[in-house]
Structure 1
C-alpha cells in the first residue's frame, strides 16, 4: 500500500487497522458490514476510501453506491424510504460485467438495514454466489439486518468518537460546536451537525426562556402552546436538549422522570399540548 487511504478518517483505529491489514495482505473480504450504534461516525467516508483503494483513484465506473429511496409512486413520496428489489437487481446487473479499470468492482449499500424483505432475500442469494466484486454494507442498526446476511460479512466495528475527535472533525469543516451540543451528540460529528441545524431552527427567544424550567404559569402555558405546534421530530429533539441542560443545572431526578414520561407520551401520540403542559407547568 503506497499511500494510507484513511488519513482523512478521524478515530476508528480498529476499523482502520483491520482494513489496512486486508489491503496490505491482499485479502479483501467478499463482503463487509461497517457497523456502529450511532450514525455519523465515518462509516460512509471509510467505505468510499477503501472502495477507491480497491477500484483505483478517480475510477467511479467500478463503484456502485446504493441508498434508500422513496417509492416511485408520487402519492407515496412522504412514505418511509427503503432499499427495494429493483435496486438489488441493479447491483446484480452491475456485477454481471467485467470491471472497467479495476480487478474487481465494489458495491456500497448505505443504510443496509432499510432493505425491504424481498430485497434482503435477493441480496442474500447474491452474497451466496461467486462474483467479481466486493460488498460493503453500512448500518447504524445492524440488529435489523437478517442474521444470514450478517453471517456472510466480515464485521468492521465503528465506535463513537471522543469529544476531542468530534471537535477536530467539525473544526476541519469550519464548524464550531458548543458544549451543550457536544454533550447530546453521542460522539458523532454527523449527529453534532444535525443538532446544530436543529437548534438553529428554533427561536432563540424560546431557548433563552427555557434555560431553566419556567417558574411562571402564564409563561409556561405560552411556551407549551408554541412548542406543541412544532413538528414531532423537533419536539422530541427539544426534550433531549432540555433534559441534558436542566440536569446539568438542577440534578433533579424528579425532572428526569418527567422527561421520561413526556418522551414516552410523544412517541405514543399523546396530545402534544398536554405533554408540554405537564412538563413545563411549575
Structure 2
C-alpha cells in the first residue's frame, strides 16, 4: 500500500505543490533552500520530500518511511549543527542528554561539509539519488559555506536541501544556486491541527504560550515544555503584581536562584504576553522589554528582576 508522503505536513500547500510537481515533471533541482520560521514544518517537509524522491517509481511505503525516520537509509545524510566537546561533535539533543550547558550555539562545521563531499562522491545505494539535508544552514561559518559552494556547483547524482530562516541568513552565492521553497507561519486552524496530531492539544488552552508561538507549532511545544519547568508557586506569584516591595524582592531572589538565564529570558516573553492580556498596560510591557535587553547584556539577573518587579509593584 502506498502512502501520501506529505500527509503529515499541515498548513504549507505551496511548498507541497512545488515539491510534488518537481518530482512529477522530473525537474528535481540539484539544491533547494527551505526558508521560513522555526517550527512550521520545514524539517518535516524535507523528510517527506526525501520519501517522495526515493519512491518516485514504486510509491511511498511504511517500510521506507520507517527507515528514513530512523536515519538508516544509505542514500540519505542528515546534517545538524554541532558542539565540539572533548574531541567529539555533539548535536544540541546529544548535548542536552549529557547535561552539557554551552554558551555559544551549535554550528555546522567545516569537517561536516567535508563529510558531505565524501558522501556524495559515492554512487547512491537503494535510491535514484543521494540526498543531503542541512538543518540550520545559517550556522555555517564562511569557510564551511565556501566549501559547500564547491559541492553545489558539481553535486553529481544528488540533491541538497538547506533549511534556514531567511535567504539573507545564508551566503548569497549559496542562495543563488538553490531553488527557494517558502514556508509560512500557521494560521490558528492549522496550528490547532498540528498540536492535536502531536498530542499537545492542552497547549490550545494557554493563550500566552500561543501568542509567544506566533503560528509556529514547534515554538508552541517548546514554550509549553519550558513552562512546565517553572516552579508552579513562583509562576502563580508572578501572574499578579507583587503586593509589597518586600514580596517583589523575594520573587526576584527566587527567580535568580531557581532559573538559568535561558529560562529567565523565556519567562520575560511569557510575562509580556500574560500581562498584556490581563492589564493591557504598555508601560509594563516596556519594562519587560528593557529587562530582556539587560539580561542579554549580562546584567546581574537578580538586580534586573528587582527593578522590574518593583516597578510593577508600584502600578
TM bucket, shorter chain: over 0.9
Deviations 1:100-157 (A, max 9, x none): 1222111111111111222111001111125110000011254321111111111111
Q: Is the 8 A contact 2:38 2:219 kept in 1?
A: yes
User: Could you say if the C-alpha distance between residues 22 and 75 of structure 1 is closer, same or farther in structure 2, counting changes exceeding 3 Å?
Assistant: closer
How far, CA to CA, are the matches of 1:75 and 1:277 in structure 2? 41
Provide the C-alpha distance between the structure 1 equivalents of 2:165 and 2:106, rounded to a whole number of angstroms.
Answer: 16
Tell me which of 147, 156, 162 is aligned to 2:181.
156
| Unaligned runs of at least 5 residues, structure 1 | none
Distance 1:203 1:242, change over 3 A: same
Asked whether 1:249 is paired with 2:278, we answer yes
For residue 259 of structure 1, what is the aligned residue in structure 2?
Answer: 288
CA distance in 2, matches of 1:186, 1:89: 37
After superposition, residues 100-119 of structure 1 pair within 5 angstroms as: 100-119=125-144
Match of 1:71 in 2: 84
> Contact between 1:55 and 1:105, CA under 8 Å: does it hold in 2?
no
Q: Indicate the residue corresponding to 2:9 in structure 1.
A: 9
Residue 240 of structure 1 and its aligned partner are, at CA, apart by: 0.6
SS in 1 for 2:126: coil
Q: How far does the alpha carbon of each residue in 1:256-281 deviate from its partner, in whole angstroms, 9 at most, with x for none? A: 22112111111111111111111111
Is 2:187 the counterpart of 1:188?
A: no
Q: 2:32·2:162 contact (CA, 8 Å) conserved in 1?
A: yes
Question: RMSD over aligned Cα, in angstroms?
Answer: 1.8
Within a 5 Å distance, the mapping from 1:159-178 to structure 2 comes to: 159-175=184-200, 176-177=202-203, 178=206
1:212 is displaced (CA, Å) by 2.4
Structure 1: distance between partners of 2:293 and 2:82: 29
1:128 alignment partner in structure 2: 153
**Partner SS for 1:10:** coil
Q: Please point out which of 237, 240, 245 is paired with 2:266.
A: 237
Q: Would the aligned equivalents of 2:275 and 2:285 in 1 still touch at CA under 8 Å?
A: no
> So what's the TM-score if we normalise by structure 1?
0.94
CA contact (8 A) 1:55 1:106 kept: no
Distance in 2 separating the partners of 1:271 and 1:252: 26
After TM superposition, what 4+ stretches of structure 1 lie above 6 angstroms from structure 2? none
For residues 130 and 244 of structure 1, the distance between their equivalents in structure 2, rounded to whole angstroms, comes to 46
Alignment counterpart, residue 80 of structure 1, candidates 105, 111, 125:
105
**2-structure distance, mates of 1:100, 1:130:** 16
Q: Say if 1:161 and 1:188, in contact at 8 Å, map to a contact too.
A: yes
Offset, 1:201: 0.2
Name the residue aligned to 2:227: 199
Q: Which residue of 1 aligns with 2:95?
A: none
Q: What is the distance in 2 between the residues matched to 1:133 and 1:250?
A: 55
Residues 120 and 155, structure 2, Cα contact 8 Å, conserved in 1: no
Q: Is it true that 1:209 corresponds to 2:237 in the alignment? A: yes
Alignment CA distance shift 1:41-1:261 (3 Å): same
The alpha-carbon distance between structure 1 residues 256 and 72, as it changes in their structure 2 partners (threshold 3 A), is: closer
Of 207, 220, 223 in structure 1, the residue corresponding to residue 248 of structure 2 is 220
CA distance in 2, matches of 1:12, 1:201: 32
